[in-house]
Structure 1
Amino acid sequence: MLDWVTDPNIWIGFFTLVALEIVLGIDNIIFISILAGKLPPEQRDRARVLGLAAALISRLLLLLGLSWVVQLTEPLFSVFGHEISGRDLILLLGGLFLLGKSVTEIHHSMEGSHGKDGKPAAAASFASVIAQIMVLDVVFSLDSVITAVGMVDELGVMIAAVVVAVAVMLFASGPISRFVDQHPTVKMLALSFLVLIGVVLVAEGLEQHIPKGYIYFAMAFSVIVELLNIRVRGRNTKHGEPAPKMQ
């Protein structure tokens, strides 16, 4: 019964799946961090914890309902010769929601705390932030579970990998959230990343597969460049030198 403990293939699959789940969870962490940043400081940690708890619950429910997840790949109807399944519909609607939300957040970041009419922007409520997080959790969880099903056969290994991955995400979400809040340029990069993820989800819903590795690599390169810029600005400030201006 405990043969799996000594099976190296199961352990390799487990650690590989944990790594992939963490990578796939990066967009979830960024989305939660940006939404939680709209709340008062005393509510942000609670929103992040509840958001990731909802992500864990949605993933576990989808894993326990694997037969239903498999049925989601069956075509429901056709549009211009393209068959649309339940999974495609969820990805399409989720991608459009993420695109709309990301573009709106970019607009608010550019306009500042006041709109064009000079009136203060309405503060986000805790309930609305949690509701938005839960909507995208379902989309991100579906992608996560489909990846798990394609890699590992044992349900127990899938559940364990998802739990470990979400625990790591919970540990990392605090520092990531604070770093994004403290650096507006990083926040803009994060929102741009979410726009790209939204485009990928819409494309997936239309059966146009775009490897996420390209997007993650491009975003990682952009973040590394921005980290170098932050370090240079910090060093110049420390020595009393003016920050370099863009021509």
Structure 2
Amino acid sequence: MTGSEETLSFRLAYVPGVTPTKWVRIWNERLPGIPLTLVPTSAAGAYDVLRDGGADAGFVRLPADRTFFSAIPLYTETTVVVVPKDHLFTAADEISTGELADEIVLHPLDDTLGWERPPGQPAFERPATTADAIELVAAGVGLLVVPQSLARLHHRKDLKYRTVSDAPQSQVALAWPEERTTDQVEDFIGIVRGRTVNSTRGRSQPQEQARSKAGNAGKAGARQKSTAGKPAGKGGPRGPRGGSGAAKGARRGKPRRRS
């Protein structure tokens, strides 16, 4: 397929807990001719998807390998503990990791907080996924400490969550392979950063640029027509102090007395 025949597209990966709806909507409004395809991926597998070319950019959880990826940190999530709805922790607005010391705290294999060992007592075995750990919490087996977005993602009526004040936090970022920073990646970076279509740091649509140039050319032509053919003294250049047609070299004021 030649470059002229190639159909432009943009593939955006995203990890569980991230909701890309707002940015996708802006993309579709700003670049309707370039389809955006969402690529859901696990937190652990997101970087492999980007590295292998399965997506052009993605919402991931840090840290990222900065020798291969560029990344723009977006926000840091609140960390919460998920508990059964009748657990005593639900009486508080937030708790500390020290208060988890006597509780069984589950540590799924897809943990996103990066700690070697969570607080509290370890379970007999580690659940394979966060979804599996949620099921165990509902069954009364233990508690789970996760980013708040994951607690919301796996919401159940029989579970509640409370903020953990001193737990590690997860950072969400936009990442992409540095050597594959395409025009579409630049466009999406501009959207995420909140740039307007006409921002000098962002890329504008070709049709937007063409309309802008045509409009400026039309205005310039109109100005030239409005000043063409006007006689001097009627809209033409005026002399010093607002006068018109004053003789060159003419003196003003009182005549000098001769001695």
Question: Is the strand fraction higher in 1 or 2?
Answer: 2
TM-score by length of 2: 0.20
Question: Is the helix fraction higher in 1 or 2?
Answer: 1
Higher Cα Rg, which structure: 2
